[in-house]
Amino acid sequence: MKVISKIFLFLSLVNSTILFAQKRNPPPIAKTVFDSLFPKAEKVEWDTGKYPDYDTITFKTHMVPVFHAYFDLNKQSGSATFDSNGIFIQAHIHLQDTCLPTKALEYLKNKYPKFLIIKTVYLISKFKVKTFLVFLCPEKRPKCDENPRVLFDEQGNFLTFYPWR
């Protein structure tokens, strides 16, 4: 009986190890799409997670399993998200402020002269729409938790302003 228990325990351990390894490995198509979108990405690490998906029929949001690729691109950190079938959902790449288009920098300088840029994120949607999301903070409060944000298109044209939360 002890032998059977040990065999069962060993097989359970092997099975859980295989399942854990499979969960972290995205479908091959996800890796192919990732490599085509970010051919110069370095230090790529894959992980699993959940992502909110909005159902247009029931008007409810539910969490779906996804794969995240965390990477470095031109010395900037980024992440890309793929669904369980390997379909690209979105990507975020943190940028230096100097990477913003000149038009966006001028807009921020004129419209928000008393604000500091604390973070700039380059966003790529599943529809390949590329935008810049800029997080601002008043000069007098360089460490604020609820940041207003400004969204620009890829050319630096203003799209919208998100006020404090």
pLDDT in tens, 78-111: 999 998 888 899 999 999 888 899 999 999 999 9
CA distance 94 to 140: 24
Q: What is the 3-state secondary structure (H, E, C) of 107-122?
A: HHHHHCCCEEEEEEEE
In a domain, 11, yes or no: no
Question: What is the share, in percent, of the chain residues with pLDDT greater than 90?
Answer: 49
Specify whether the CB–CB gap between 130 and 105 falls below 8 A.
Answer: no
Domain span holding position 73? 27-162
pLDDT at 142: 58
User: How many domains does the chain fold into?
Assistant: 1
CA–CA separation, 103 and 126 (whole Å): 25
Answer whether residue 46 is part of any domain: yes
Q: What is the pLDDT at residue 12? A: 44
Q: What is the model's pLDDT at position 159?
A: 94
Q: pTM value?
A: 0.72
CATH number at residue 80: 3.10.450.360
Task: Confirm whether 13 is domain-assigned.
Answer: no
Is the per-residue pLDDT at 19 higher than 60?
Answer: no
Q: Which two tokens stand for residue 122?
A: 């380059």
- Residue 131 in domain: yes
Residue 10 placed within a domain: no
Give the model confidence (pLDDT) of 110-137 as tens digits: 999 988 898 899 999 988 899 999 999 8
Confidence at 23, pLDDT banded by 50, 70, 90: low
Residue 124 maps to a domain: yes
94, part of any domain: yes
Asked if the model's pLDDT at residue 6 lies above 50, the reply is no
Chain segment 39-63, per-residue pLDDT in tens = 999 999 999 998 776 666 777 777 7
DSSP code at position 78: E
Residue 118 domain-assigned (yes or no): yes
